Amino acid sequence: MRIVDLLDARSINLSANPKTKSEALDQAVELMDQSGKLSDKEEYRKKVYAREEESTTGIGEGIAIPHGKCDAVLKPGLAAMVIPKGVDFESLDGEPADLLFLIAAPNTEDNVHLDVLSKLSMLLMDEDFTKKLKAAKTVEEFLKVIDDAETNRDEASEETKEEGKKFLIGVTACPTGIAHTYMAAEALEKKAKELGLSVKIETRGSGGAKNVLTTEDINKADGIIVAADTKVPMERFKGKKVLITKVADGINKSEDLIKKALAGQVPVYEGGSSDAEEKTEYDESLGRKAYKHLMSGVSHMLPFVIGGGILVALAFLVDTLCGYGNIGETHPELAGSFGMLTPLSAWLKYVGGLAMGLMVPVLAGYIAYSIADRPGLVVGFTGGLLASSGNALLSGYLDTWKTLGSNGGVIQKLMFQHSGNTVSGFLGGIAAGFLAGAIVLLLKKIFANLPAVLDGIKPTLLYPVLGVLCISILMCLILNPIIGLINTGLSNGLNWMGDHNMLIVLGAVLGAMMAIDMGGPINKAAYVFGTGMLTQAATELANGAAQGDVKNYYIMMAAVMVGGMVPPVGIAIAELIFPKKFTKDERGSIVSNFVMGAGFITEAAIPFAAADPGHVIPATMIGAGVAGGLSAAFGCTLMAPHGGVFVFATVGNPLLYVLAWVIGSFATALLLGALKKNVNE
CA atoms within 13 A on the CB side of 119: 22
Query: Which of 159-168, 236-245, 262-271, 604-613 has the largest mean confidence?
Result: 236-245
Q: Are 627 and 566 in contact (CB under 8 A)?
A: yes
Residues 339 and 413 in one domain: yes
Number of Cβ within a 10 Å radius of residue 472 = 15
In a domain, 651, yes or no: yes
Q: What is the DSSP letter of 681?
A: -
Give 412 or 247, the one with higher predicted confidence. Answer: 247
Residue at which a domain ends, from 263, 284, 305: 284
Residue 497 counted as domain residue:
no
Counting Cβ atoms within 10 Å, is residue 675 exposed (0-12), middle (13-18) or buried (19+)? middle
Q: For the segment 616-664, what is each residue's pLDDT rounded down to a tens digit?
A: 889 999 999 999 999 999 999 887 777 677 677 778 888 999 999 999 9
In this structure, is residue 199 part of a structural domain? yes
Looking at residue 119, its pLDDT comes to 67
Residue numbers annotated as active site: 67, 174
Residue 369 lies in a domain: yes
Query: Within this chain, do residues 23 and 105 fall inside the same structural domain, yes or no?
Result: yes
> Does residue 1 carry a pLDDT above 70?
no
What's the domain range around 352? 288-489
Cβ-based neighbours of 131, under 8 Å, separated by 6 or more = none
* pLDDT bucket at 28, cuts 50 / 70 / 90: very high
- Is 283 a residue whose pLDDT tops 70? no
Regarding whether 151 and 52 lie in a shared domain, the answer is yes
CB 391 within 8 A of CB 416: yes
For residues 611 and 513, which has the higher predicted lDDT (pLDDT)? 513
Residues 42 and 97 in one domain: yes
Summarize pLDDT for 302-355 with one digit per residue, the tens.
Answer: 678 667 767 876 777 787 778 776 654 566 556 456 678 889 988 988 898 788
Model confidence over 342-354: pLDDT tens digits? Answer: 899 889 888 987 8
Query: pTM higher than 0.75, yes or no?
Result: no
| Same domain assignment for residues 369 and 460 | yes
Looking at the domain assignment, is residue 500 inside a domain? no
Say whether pLDDT at 278 is over 50.
Answer: no
Domains: count for the chain: 4
Which of 133, 162, 191 terminates a domain? The answer is 162
pLDDT class of 32 with cuts at 50, 70, 90: very high
Candidate from 241-255, 386-400, 452-466 with smallest mean pLDDT: 386-400
325 and 381 belong to one structural domain: yes
Give the per-residue pLDDT at 281: 41
Using CA atoms, how far apart are residues 410 and 477, in angstroms rounded to an integer? Answer: 11
Does the residue 501 lie in any domain? Answer: no
Instruction: Please check whether residue 494 lies inside any domain of the structure.
Output: no
550, exposed or middle or buried, with CB in 10 Å at 0-12, 13-18, 19+?
Answer: buried
Is pLDDT at 241 greater than 60 in this prediction?
yes
Could you tell me if 67 and 119 lie in one domain? yes
Q: Do 70 and 175 have their domain in common?
A: no
**Total Cβ atoms within 10 A of residue 535:** 26
User: 452 and 576, same structural domain?
Assistant: no
DSSP for residue 517: S
Domain of 223, CATH number, reads: 3.40.50.2300
The CA-based angle 623-647-672, given to 5 degrees, is 15
* Percent of all residues in the chain with a pLDDT value above 70, rounded to a whole number: 79
Residue 515 per-residue DSSP state:
T
Tens-digit pLDDT profile for residues 147-198: 888 777 666 555 444 455 788 999 998 765 555 777 788 889 888 888 888 8
Same domain? For 295 and 405 the reply is yes
Q: Burial, 415: exposed, middle or buried (Cβ in 10 Å; 0-12, 13-18, 19+)? A: buried
Phi, psi of 328 (to 5 degrees): -65, -25
**Domain closes at, from 259, 284, 309:** 284
What does the pLDDT read at residue 631?
94
Do 62 and 30 lie in one domain? The reply is yes
The CATH number for 51's domain is: 3.40.930.10
Indicate if the pLDDT at residue 2 is higher than 50: yes
Tell me the C-alpha distance between 48 and 11, whole Å.
Answer: 16
Mean pLDDT for the chain overall: 80
- Check if the beta carbon of residue 571 is closer than 8 Å to that of residue 610: no
For residues 75 and 149, membership in a common domain is answered with yes
- Give the alpha-carbon dihedral of 534, 537, 542, 548, to 10 degrees: -140
Q: Which of 124-128, 153-157, 212-216, 431-435 has the highest mean pLDDT?
A: 431-435
For residue 502, being part of any structural domain is answered with no
- For residue 82, pLDDT over 90 is answered with yes
- Residue 18: helix, strand or coil by DSSP? coil
